[in-house]
A and B are shown apart, each in its own frame.
Chain A
Amino acid sequence: MIASFSPGLILIVGGLLIPLFRGRARQLFMLALPVLGAAQLLGLSNGLHGQIEIFDYTLTFVRADRLSFVFGLIFLIASFYNTIYSLHENDTMQQVAAPIYAGAAIGAVYAGDLITLFIFWEITAVSSVFLIWARRTAKAYAVGMRYLIIQVGSGVILLAGIILRTQETGSIAFEHIGTTDLAGWLILIAFGIKAAFPFLHNWLQDAYPEATVTGTVVLSAFTTKLAVYVLARGFAGTELLIYVGAVMTAFPVFFAVIENDLRRVLAFSLNNQVGFMVAGIGVGTSLALNGAVAHAFVHIIYKSLLFMSMGAVLHRVGTIKASELGGLYRSMPITTVFCIIGAASITAFPLFSGYIAKSLTLSATAEGGYVVAWLILVFASAGVLEHSGIKIPYFAFFAHDSGKRCQEAPGNMLIAMAIAAFLSVAIGVYPDMLYAILPFPVDYQPYTVSHVLSQLQLLLFAMLAFAILVRTGLYPKEIPSTNLNTDWIYRKALPVLLLWLGNAVEAMRRGAAARAQRRLERFILQVYRHHGPAGIMARTWQTGHTVLWVALLLGAYLLVYFL
């Protein structure tokens, strides 16, 4: 069946062909790839296709169903506007890596068995690292290396889990896995690394902000959402995930407020958003899964929009430090508007896309009776408003005027942002468009009076507090506080504590990292002493010594055999 290959393959093969084109033809070709991919995607009938027999196993390259369709579609949309966003660049390395990476993510989404999944899993790891290295600084190289090791490590753990599972069940099918045995745990850990679970998350904030302007936008779309997809496929209804997700939504808030690099703030907020999806998967009801999937869908769009606007700032101004920016709305008015639309979406303002997705997850958590998790999620939603909704646009475009004047973002960036902004608003206004393609039938009305009112209450009070703080000059300049809305939910003292806690945890993490590094260095030195060129294991031995070994072994064998 030639006709039913994976849509990801078009992007991967096309990516490899990109160096053959030059100039305008190359741009057109790059834009054509996601379009062709989408054509292939829409043409696939549900079911299993593209099966290949390979040493005793049947690899299924295409498993088309409603779940894979949603993720495949959004990955292609993201790939399309990402391509537009990066049209001004002329860096073959990135131009090749980006479609391969996107294609591998789509291939993984369509993988019908674990081995195919593993193959694409590794391709995403290897192709994406070039987006980091493309920045071509020594720091980016080191960061990329760390990123690669962690990603490949996740692949190795995944492979170990797959082998174990195959051994136990005799099947390589990728269905519900669950945590009933060691194999399930290994696979969950592998997925968890990609999803940036707490304590497995450091690679994300480490790597994403170090990639190129366009690379970060591309990176933010695929890896973690691929992880969300595989979790939804393999671990739906695993209760542990609710709490993992809840922690994921909450803890980045503390880090995000003390962070100065605005792209890193967004990386933390990415973590927080994925937490919502993970929690939804943990709840596992059809409403919750719909919520997680819908959230992943809209999240890719508005998170890209935010990263794109910050990328445009970095591109024009050359820095993305909150302390060095401000007042840019005069120079970049259109970008400012797009950034605000992204911020409104991520904070779940009614009529923006975040609202219609997040409310699904929250309702499902409440319906499931997970009170603690629900409270954390609500707190985190408020946290989102602070660090992504207000901090990002406020410090970049408003705040005190930094005096920096620059041009508006390049035309292609504006077009890409316009597409993402349009989608964010359109989905927010007409949620049924998205609800119609979700894996389960949706019986949910986001725009009821009570839903809208409660959300507005949360948001408006938070903004009121923000306004008052700024007016009265209480709003701290260096350390924007966590707690614009906590007046309403929490006592005043808590924010200070949280801030302190965030700092303390960060300090501890640094200490532990430094200790671990020292220990690792000592270990490598020790290994080198024995295995290095002059070590006992690698020296050229004298013939006599080797013969001695022969005699010893002969003796040993004789002894063992005779006994």
Chain B
Amino acid sequence: MIAAHLPVLQIVVPLVAAPFCLLLRRGTWAWILSSIVCLAALVIAATLLSQVLESGPISYELGGWAPPWGIEYRVDVLNAFLLLIVSATGAIVLPYARRSVAHEIPESQHGGFYTALLLCFTGLLGVAITGDAFNLFVFLEISSLSSYVLIAMGRDRRALTAAFQYLVMGTIGATFIVIGIGLLYMATGTLNMADLGARLPAVGANRTVLAAFAFLTVGATLKLALFPLHFWLPNAYAYAPSVVTAFLAATATKVSIYILLRFFFTIFGPTFAAEDITLQRLVVPLAVIAVLVCSTVAIFQSNVKRMLAYSSIAQIGYMMIGIGFDTVTGLTAGIVHLFNHAATKGGLFLALGCVVLRIGSCQLDDLAGLGRRMPLTMFSFVLGGLSLIGVPLTAGFVSKWYLVQAAIEQDNWLVAVAILVGSLLAIIYVWRVVEVAYLRPAPEGTPAGGIEAPWSMLVPTWILIGASIYFGIETSLNVGVASAAARFLLGVAG
């Protein structure tokens, strides 16, 4: 009985729980409630994924209204994977949140914080699960508005301006998406995405459809921070509370990439395959520039959180390179990297949150000698860094391996070289942290003895870092599902 309603429970449970967090007022209770909710969401997502892998896409009619008139929740391999990423990140980050939030956010705002976090969580899950284009926009706005609130809660006063800039840019992005959806509705008279995909080929690539495509492309690339529309991201990540940064870095941009995939391949795919409009010449060059420029910028950053933010933009570049190739290998690489990077970067930001908890700063110079004082935290950072570089036996290597394969498959040597150069740049920016933490002595007058982070924060950090190692060795889950999703998107059998 319940099993049949899992798709809607995935959304309804956190949505209903969110206002309760506000009512509970006391931070601890709100934290317990949201932890339970996230855990429940993870169980639901895992069940959905295994169902989809077993018996194909699941369609759920909301309120009993049959699609395409009613809203449909449609779970296939791709978004089941996304649901898993988002809910797993939520379930791992929340146990971590209690100490970190207690340290970084005033007691009186705790209820509001968990409310916003759950709403954001709901929104991201909703974007992933819905099969209705307009519904997607609604959930996107839910997640975006709550993330503006979350970012603005950062201790640094610059968090306010960062959140404001993100608000302006995010709203423009969402508006573009809704304009695109509106134009599509005008052309086809339907909002159901599967239905859109079926009807568009009959309409053909007329001006309205092309304009819709352009608006959707720009809107989505703005939300996912593809160069040069990434300028909102570094500040937002750098000044947000640690928990929020880790959560958003692992989920928000990934969900935006999902939106792009959905629009490109499910809706426009069949039409444009016939009309010979390729992504390659538009997206790939920008993505390559993102990799090179933002990795270089990351090298010169003095704030480690900001450095990781720039590294995120570069990593998004890798994903977009894979997606832009428009082949099974390329898409597999992009989707695998989406997963691997969520684990790696989430873990790195969590490790950084531990540092902030203990020394109150994430300026590079303040990390001196931390390798001895916080051995577990810094070692997790090193491992995460290795995955970011793409050292063999880490998840990062797996994604880059597929990505380079995809580039070579297309004889695109420049891109293959750019990917390797990006890895070299990553070595440099990761090394700067390692060097300061391990080889530079702690400043004079620092009390001796360890200041390791509490277990409640170390364990989630290590789960994510461990995942970024584990999925570099045992790749059946990430690569298996990603290649299934890639074949599904391209409509290739097998």
Binding site for B on A (CB under 8 A): 54-55, 115, 118-119, 122, 141, 152, 156, 159-160, 163-164, 167, 527-528, 531-533, 535, 537-538, 540-541, 543, 545-547, 549-550, 553-554, 557-558, 560-562
Contact = CB atoms under 8 A, between A and B. Distances in A.
Given A119-B392, A119-B393, A535-B297, A540 B235 contact: yes
Nearest to B173: A550
A164 B401 CA distance: 11
A562 B206 CA distance: 9
Contacts of B475: 54-55
10 contacts: A156-B423, A163-B401, A163-B408, A537-B294, A538-B300, A540-B231, A553-B218, A557-B213, A557-B217, A558-B211
Given A156-B423, A163-B401, A558-B210, A531 B299 contact: yes
A20 to B, nearest CB: 15
A522 B472 CA distance: 39
Interface stretch (B115-123, B164-172, B186-194, B462-470): B164-172
Contacts of A537: 293-294, 296-297
B165 A543 contact: yes
Nearest to B210: A561
Given A163-B404, A533-B301, A550-B172, A558 B420 contact: no
Contacts of A560: 281-282
Given A55-B398, A55-B475, A531-B300, A561 B277 contact: yes
B122 to A, nearest CB: 27
A159 B390 CA distance: 12
B409 A167 contact: yes
Given A156-B424, A540-B235, A547 B408 contact: no
Contacts of A115: 392
A562 B282 contact: no
Given A163-B404, A546-B169, A554-B176, A531 B293 contact: yes
B53 to A, nearest CB: 18
A55 B479 contact: yes
A113 to B, nearest CB: 12
B168 to A, nearest CB: 5
B229 interface: yes
Contacts of A531: 293, 296-297, 299-300
A138 to B, nearest CB: 11
B215 A554 contact: yes
A547 B232 CA distance: 11
A537 B228 CA distance: 9
A351 to B, nearest CB: 46
A550 B229 contact: yes
Given A122-B392, A156-B423, A543-B165, A54 B210 contact: no
A405 B301 CA distance: 54
Contacts of B213: 557, 561
Interface in B407-424: 408-409, 416, 420, 423-424
A446 to B, nearest CB: 43
* 3 tightest A-B CB contacts, nearest first: A557-B214, A531-B296, A55-B475
A544 to B, nearest CB: 9
B399 to A, nearest CB: 11
Contacts of A561: 210-211, 213-214, 277
Contacts of B310: 538
B157 interface: no
Contacts of A167: 405, 408-409
B393 A557 contact: no
Interface in B152-191: 164-165, 168-169, 172, 176
